[in-house]
Chains A and B, each alone.
Chain A
Amino acid sequence: MMPDDMIDKLIDITAVRHSYRTASGPLPVLDGLELSVPEGGFVAVVGPSGCGKSTLTRLVAGLLIPDEGEVRVHGTRITAPRSNVGMAFQNPVLLEWRTILQNVLLPLEIVPNKLSRAEARDRARRLLALVGLDGFEDKRPSELSGGMKQRASLCRALIHQPEVLILDEPFGALDAFTREDLWQTMHKVKAEEPFTGVLITHDLRESIFLADRVVVLSSRPARTQFVLDIPDTGLRTLDDLYTPEAAERLNILRHQIEVAQGRTPAGDAA
C-alpha cells in the first residue's frame, strides 16, 4: 500500500477545477480532482465516457492550464508544456512519411539531449526490440498492423526517457488478443525502462493488470471518486486476472463505475 502522505509524489494534482469555453457557455469538466503518483508508480484512471479523462492527461502534459488548483510534477507547478513527458494515444499518430525508426527518433529532434546520432539510433533500436519490433525499423507505418503501430508509438513516447509517461487509451482500438499481448509487453518495458505513468483506460481488467493504483472518476464534471491500491505481488501474468483477489477487485471497480454513472446509489453493496 502507498500511504497518502507519501512525500516523493512525482505527479501531484490538487483541487483542480477546469471548464471548457464552448458556444453554449462554460462546460465544467473537472471539479475537485485529486491525484498523486509516486516516482515509479503507475496509476490507471477509469471513469464514465466523456467525464474528463483526456482533459486530465492534457493538464499533466502542460497542454492545458487548470482554471483552479494546481498540477505539480517533481514539485514544479506546470504552467506550460515541458519536454519531460511522453504521450501515446488510442490513435498511434505515426508520421507516414517517416520510417518506424525515424518516427521513434522524433522526440530527440525536439528535446535537448546529449545523445549522438549513433547513440540515439542504438537506443531506438533497443526500444523497438524490447517491444518486439526488431526488423521493422525501416518499414513505413502503413506496412504495420494496428498493434505494431501502437508498439512503435510507445517507443516514441519513451525514447527521450520522460519523467512521466501518459497513455490515453493506447490499447482501446485493438482486439482482445493483441491487447493482452501488449499488456505483457508493458510489463516487460516497465522492468527495462522504468517510468512513472498515468494510464487512461476503459478496460477494468487492463487497469488492475497494469497499474499499482486505480483511480475512479465520477461522471462530468469529474472528481476523484474512489481509489483502489493493487498490492505489488511481483511479476504479473495473465493468470493473475483469474484469481479470487482479481475478481474481488473487478467487482469493486465495476460497482464504483456504476455509482459514477449514477446507475447505483453509493451505499449499495457490490
Chain B
Amino acid sequence: MKARQIIVPLVAVIVFLIAWEALVWIMGWPNYKMASPSDLIPAYERYWGLFLTMGWQTLWRTVAGLVLAVIFGVALGMVMGFSRTMRDALYPLLVGFNAVPKATVVPIVALMFVGWHDFNTVLIAFMISFFPIAVSVSIGLSTLEPEYRDILRSLGASQATIFWKIALPKTLPEFFGALKVAVTLAFIGTNLMEIVSPHGRGLGALFDSGKTNSDYPLMFAVLIALAFLGIVLYYIVVALEKTFAGWADRTV
C-alpha cells in the first residue's frame, strides 16, 4: 500500500517527462521555443547555488504570507461567521477586493513600498491568499447547525468553549480545503512580485534574469523548481489535514 502510493505518482512523473522530451524531439523545436527535460539538467548544474538561495527566498516569503493569511483569514472568518451584521458589512468589501486582479496591484505595492522587497513580496502573497480562508471559516461557522450550539449552551458553556470544542474542529475540513487553494495562490503572489520588482530576488527574479539573458532552459528550469516547491507545500498541507481533520475522510 505504502510503496504503491510512492511508485504510482513517480511513474506518472517519469512518463510525463519522457512524453515531454519526445514531443520536443519529434516536433524538432529549438530550445528557445520549448526546452526539453534534457536541457534542464545543465541549467540546474550551472545555477545550482542560485537555485538553492533563490528557492529559499521564494519559499520563506510564501510561507510567511500564508501564515499571515491564515491568522488574518481565520480572524476575519470568525468575525463574519459569528456576527450577521459584520458578515453583511464585510462581504461586499471582501468580494470587491478579491475581484481586483492582483497583477494590477503588484506594481502599485511595488512602488508604494519601494526598496522593501521582502515586505512587498510577503504582503502580496498574503493579500492574494487570505480570501478563500476567510470565506471558508465564515461559512463553516455560520452553517453550524443550531443544535450543536444548543447542546453546549444548555450546559452553560461560554462562546469560547463552544468555539474550541465544536465550531473550530467542525470547520477544519473546509479550512484545509481553502488552505490548499491558498498555497497555490500565495505562490503566484510571491512570484508576481519577484518578477516585477527591479533588483528582485527569489525564483521569480531568476526567471526574469533568464528572460533578459534569453536563457530559455533557465526559465523552464525555474518553472519546474516552482512546481516542485508547490508540490512540497501542498503535501505538507495534506499531511496537516490528515493529522487534524482525518476524521472527515470517509474514503478510508
**CB of B242 closer than 8 Å to a CB of A:** no
Instruction: Verify A93–B147 contact, CB threshold 8 A.
Output: yes
Beta-carbon contact of B154 and A63 below 8 Å? yes
Q: How far is the CB of A163 from chain B (nearest CB, A)?
A: 12
Task: Flag whether B4 is at the interface (Cβ < 8 A).
Answer: no
- Which residue from B145, B155, B161 sits with its C-beta under 8 Å from A81? B155
Residues of chain A lying within 8 A (CB to CB) of residue B91: none
Is B30 close to A, CB under 8 A? no
Binding site for A on B (CB under 8 A): 145, 147-148, 150-157, 161, 165-166, 169-170, 245, 247-248, 250
When C-beta atoms are compared, the residue in chain A nearest to B158 turns out to be A110
- Which of A82-90, A217-225, A241-249, A250-258 lies on the face that meets chain B? A82-90
- Binary interface profile of A, 171-198, with partner B (CB < 8 Å = 1, else 0)? 0000000000000000000000000000
Known: A81-B156, A93-B145, A110-B161. A61 touches B166 (CB 8 A): no
Question: Once bound together, how far apart are the Cα atoms of A86 and B134, in whole Å?
Answer: 34
- Rounded to whole Å, the gap between the CB of B252 and the closest CB of chain A is 11
Least CB distance from B94 to A in Å reads 24
Asked if A203 is at the interface of the complex by the 8 Å CB criterion, the answer is no
| A142, B148: Cα distance in complex, Å | 16
Q: When the two chains form their complex, are residues A96 and B248 in contact, meaning their CB atoms are under 8 A apart?
A: yes
Given contacts A106-B165, A142-B250, contact A111 B150 (CB under 8 A): no
Q: Which B residues touch A156, using CB under 8 A?
A: 151
User: How long is the Cα–Cα vector from A160 to B151 in the complex, in angstroms?
Assistant: 13
Known contacts A91-B147, A110-B161; is A83 also within 8 Å of B156 by CB?
yes
Would A107 and B155 count as touching, CB distance under 8 A?
yes
Tell me whether A62 is interfacial, beta carbon within 8 Å. Answer: yes
Query: How far, in whole Å, are A142 and B246 apart by their CA atoms in the complex?
Result: 13
Other-chain residue from A58, A93, A96, A142 in contact with B151 (beta carbon distance below 8 A): A93
Is residue A129 contacting chain B, with contact meaning CB distance below 8 A? no
Binding site for B on A (CB under 8 A): 58, 61-63, 80-83, 85, 87, 89, 91, 93, 95-97, 106-107, 109-111, 140, 142, 156, 160, 166
Q: Is the CB of A95 within 8 A of B169?
A: yes
**Chain A residue, CB-CB nearest to B152:** A110
Contact B148 A93 (CB under 8 A): yes
CB–CB A87/B151 < 8 A: yes
Beyond A61-B150, A85-B155, A106-B152, 5 additional pairs, beta carbon < 8 A: A58-B150, A63-B153, A81-B156, A87-B150, A97-B169
> How many whole Å from A20's CB to the nearest CB in chain B?
13
A90 to B, closest residue via Cβ: B147
Contact residues in B for A85 (Cβ distance below 8 Å): 154-155
A144 to chain B, nearest CB (A): 14
Tell me the nearest residue of chain A to B250, going by C-beta: A142
Q: Measured between alpha carbons, how far is A106 from B248 in the docked complex, in Å? A: 19
Q: Give the nearest-CB partner of A58 in chain B.
A: B150
Expressed in whole angstroms, the minimum distance between the Cβ of A160 and any Cβ of chain B is 7
30 inter-chain pairs at a CB distance below 8 angstroms, sorted by A residue, are A61-B150, A61-B154, A62-B154, A63-B154, A80-B156, A81-B155, A83-B155, A85-B154, A85-B155, A87-B151, A87-B154, A89-B150, A91-B145, A91-B147, A93-B145, A93-B147, A95-B166, A95-B169, A95-B170, A96-B170, A97-B245, A97-B247, A106-B165, A109-B165, A110-B152, A110-B155, A110-B157, A110-B161, A156-B151, A160-B155
Specify which chain B residues have a CB less than 8 angstroms from the CB of A107 in the assembled complex: 155
Q: Are A111 and B155 in contact (CB under 8 A)?
A: yes
CA–CA, A63 and B170, complex, Å: 22
Complex CA distance for A111 and B161, rounded to whole angstroms = 12
User: A87: which B residues are within 8 A, CB to CB?
Assistant: 150-151, 154
Taking a contact as CB atoms closer than 8 A, the residue among A63, A80, A83 that contacts B150 in the complex is A63
Of all chain A residues, the one with the shortest Cβ separation from B244 is A97
Provide the residues of chain B in CB contact with A97, threshold 8 Å.
Answer: 169, 245, 247-248
- B166 partner residues in chain A, CB cutoff 8 A: 95
A95 neighbours in B (Cβ, 8 Å):
165-166, 169-170
Enumerate chain A residues within 8 angstroms of B147, measured Cβ to Cβ.
89, 91, 93
Task: Report yes or no: B150 in contact with A110, Cβ–Cβ below 8 A.
Answer: no
Residues of B within 8 A of A82 (CB): 156
Q: In chain A, what residue has the closest Cβ to B246?
A: A97
**A156–B165 alpha-carbon span in the complex (Å):** 15
Q: Is A140 a contact partner of B155 (Cβ separation < 8 A)?
A: no
Residues of B within 8 A of A80 (CB): 156
Cα A160 to Cα B155 with chains together (Å): 10
The residue in chain B whose Cβ has the minimal distance to the Cβ of A157 is B151
Shortest Cβ distance from residue A244 to the other chain B in the assembled complex, whole angstroms: 39
* Chain A, Cβ-Cβ closest to B172: A97
Query: Bound complex: CA of A76 vs CA of B147, how far in Å?
Result: 25
6 closest Cβ contacts across the A-B interface? A61-B154, A97-B247, A83-B156, A93-B147, A110-B155, A110-B157
